[in-house]
Amino acid sequence: MQAILRSPPILRGSLSPPGDKSISHRAAILNSIAQGDAVVENMQHGADVLATFRCLQWLGVRYQWLHERTVRISGVGRDGLQEPTTILECRNSGTTIRLLTGLLAPQPFFSVLNGDASLRSRPMDRIVQPLTAMGADIRGRRGGARAPLAINGHPLTGISYRLPQASAQVKSALALAALYAKGDTFLEEPAPSRDHTERMLQSMGAQVQYGDRSITLHPLGSELQPLSFRVPGDISAAACWLVAAAVHPQAELQLEGVGVNPTRTGVITALRLMGADIALENERLQGPEPVADIIVRSSHLHGTVIEGDLVPQAIDELPLIALAACFAQGETVIRDAAELRVKESDRIRNTVSELRRLGADIEELADGMHIRGLGRLHGANVSSHSDHRLAMLLAVAGLIAQGETIIRNPQAVAISYSCFWGDLKHLAREALISSPE
């Protein structure tokens, strides 16, 4: 299967990105252990989030899709999860397997979490080691470093732990375990990571204190209250259109209802550092999360350095920033991003190799990329490596490269953005020669 694209003469319009994937996972999981029903609107409907819902169903949680993006979740309460009678298949979702490992470690039953070949290659020791320090009994391949993970539920004790690298998935897994632990848990990070779990827990009545780099969690003294709200639009999905419009010579896009949590807006910060014309309007709250409408216009970009605390705030969008750098004047360096090598694919190596096919002057670094802006790309045959972020990156490249771009395995976008090709047609119908839809 392949998609064929070419650059449109004008890129204009407005759209609402799908619900935020990270928030959707957490809304599903936390409402499942709340007491009572919650109705969540704009729930992300990609394959990763659906994997979380299927696992929760096997744990005894009932849910009902009221229509495609609104779901009623019937929480079973703090102690209501049931032992699954089958292996919990997390498919390609790292968030699913890591957060559910934290949730299941203190439950009084046995469970097994597995995933596809890509997920089984991703590191799990980063959650298994601190959970084991809390008293968890978790077995897996390579001493617990790889899935499948077999969990013998066991009472846990709170710990004080400094995460080796900033990771919202690790922090959230430990936070879920801490809700059931005896005593408090204190977590510290070397840099701020996304704080959706903390915000949601506070809104649901949990005792949580947190700052930029630390979080203190107290065991649940009472039931979590269900949280009904509208999930903000996904900033990672919006990032595709931010880069496309900033780089395209004749573009103006409005992205409505996008989540602008400050732990997630690194892509906006990075693009503004490069000179992008991006404005936030109608800023407001949806549930515990800040949202805004984003206006982005054609821009004259220049090179910059992306490093340090900015990296975890833009980790999923760094390949798109590398694409923008191909059109910036001067050189751009992305570093401190070794985490990209253990995503759904090695996103450093694959971003470099595929952008080179399109004519980019880009070099692979151990922990990032070095890009020399040439101001142009040319169409080529490229591959998504079955990675949803790379598929979207290459589609955006096809909107701004000269000539035709052919993408193999473009259907990978369904992992996180099931309506991606429809939105692309909406913004630039003449750009899409063929697509997997």
> What CATH number does the domain containing 302 carry?
3.65.10.10
C-alpha 327/C-alpha 248 separation (Å) is: 9
**184 and 330 in one domain?**
no
| pLDDT, average across residues 198-221 | 95
| pLDDT, average across residues 396-410 | 96
**193 and 127 in one domain?**
yes
Is the confidence at residue 164, as pLDDT, over 70?
yes
Could you tell me which residues are beta bridge partners of residue 32? none
Is the confidence at residue 208, as pLDDT, over 80?
yes
Run of H or E residues at 320 = helix 318-325
Is the pTM higher than 0.85?
yes
The three-class DSSP label of residue 97 is helix
Q: What angle do CA 40, 48, 175 make, to 5 degrees?
A: 70
Residue 120 token pair: 């089984």
Is the confidence at residue 204, as pLDDT, over 70?
yes
- Taking CA atoms, 403 is separated from 59, 326, 379, in Å, by 50, 16, 5
**184 and 266 in one domain?**
no
| pLDDT, average across residues 208-219 | 94
User: pLDDT digits over 328-352, tens only?
Assistant: 999 999 999 999 998 989 999 999 9
Residue among 195, 234, 316, 423 flagged as catalytic: 316
Cβ contact 155:182 at 8 Å: yes
Number of domains in the chain: 2
Q: Judging by beta carbons within 10 Å of its beta carbon (0-12, 13-18, 19+), is residue 372 exposed, middle or buried?
A: middle
Could you tell me which residues are beta bridge partners of residue 359? none
190, 370, 314, 255: CA torsion to nearest 10: 170
Q: Cis ω on the peptide bond leading into residue 436 (within 30° of 0)?
A: no
Strand ranges inside 106-210, DSSP E: 110-114, 137-140, 146-152, 160-162, 185-188, 208-210
C-alpha 167/C-alpha 235 separation (Å) is: 18
Work out the pLDDT band at 432, boundaries 50, 70, 90: confident
Q: What is the CA radius of gyration of the chain?
A: 21
Number of other CB atoms surrounding residue 167 within 10 Å: 22
Work out the pLDDT band at 436, boundaries 50, 70, 90: confident
Question: Is 316 one of the catalytic residues?
Answer: yes
Q: Which of 384, 317, 379 is nearest to 350 (CA)?
A: 384
| pLDDT, average across residues 277-281 | 98
Work out the pLDDT band at 435, boundaries 50, 70, 90: confident
**211 and 276 in one domain?**
no
Residue 226 lies in a domain: no
Residue 337 lies in a domain: yes
Residue 270 token pair: 């990075």
Residue 159 lies in a domain: yes
Could you tell me which residues are beta bridge partners of residue 281? 293
| pLDDT, average across residues 305-332 | 97
**321 and 250 in one domain?**
yes
Arithmetic mean of pLDDT over the chain: 96
Q: Which of 122-131, 219-228, 422-431 has the lowest mean pLDDT?
A: 422-431
**244 and 198 in one domain?**
no
C-alpha 58/C-alpha 38 separation (Å) is: 19
Per-residue pLDDT at 112: 98
| pLDDT, average across residues 93-120 | 97
CA 355, chain centre distance (Å): 22
C-alpha 163/C-alpha 172 separation (Å) is: 12
In percent, the amount of the chain with pLDDT more than 70 equals 100
Number of other CB atoms surrounding residue 123 within 10 Å: 14
Residue 222 lies in a domain: no
Cβ contact 335:365 at 8 Å: yes
**261 and 133 in one domain?**
no
C-alpha 58/C-alpha 25 separation (Å) is: 16
Could you tell me which residues are beta bridge partners of residue 229? 40
| pLDDT, average across residues 243-253 | 97
Is the confidence at residue 424, as pLDDT, over 70?
yes
Residue 228 lies in a domain: no
Q: Give me the amino acid identity at 40.
A: V
Beta-carbon contacts of residue 427 (< 8 Å; ≥ 6 apart):
11, 12, 13, 15, 241, 253
Place of tokens 């931010």: 242
**211 and 148 in one domain?**
yes
Cβ contact 361:393 at 8 Å: no
Work out the pLDDT band at 437, boundaries 50, 70, 90: low
Beta-carbon contacts of residue 350 (< 8 Å; ≥ 6 apart):
385, 387, 390
**424 and 291 in one domain?**
yes
C-alpha 286/C-alpha 294 separation (Å) is: 16
**290 and 240 in one domain?**
yes
Last residue of one domain, picked from the residues 191, 217, 243: 217
Domain ranges, residue 73: 21-217
Residue 225 lies in a domain: no
Q: Which of 101, 39, 94, 106 is nearest to 72 (CA)?
A: 39
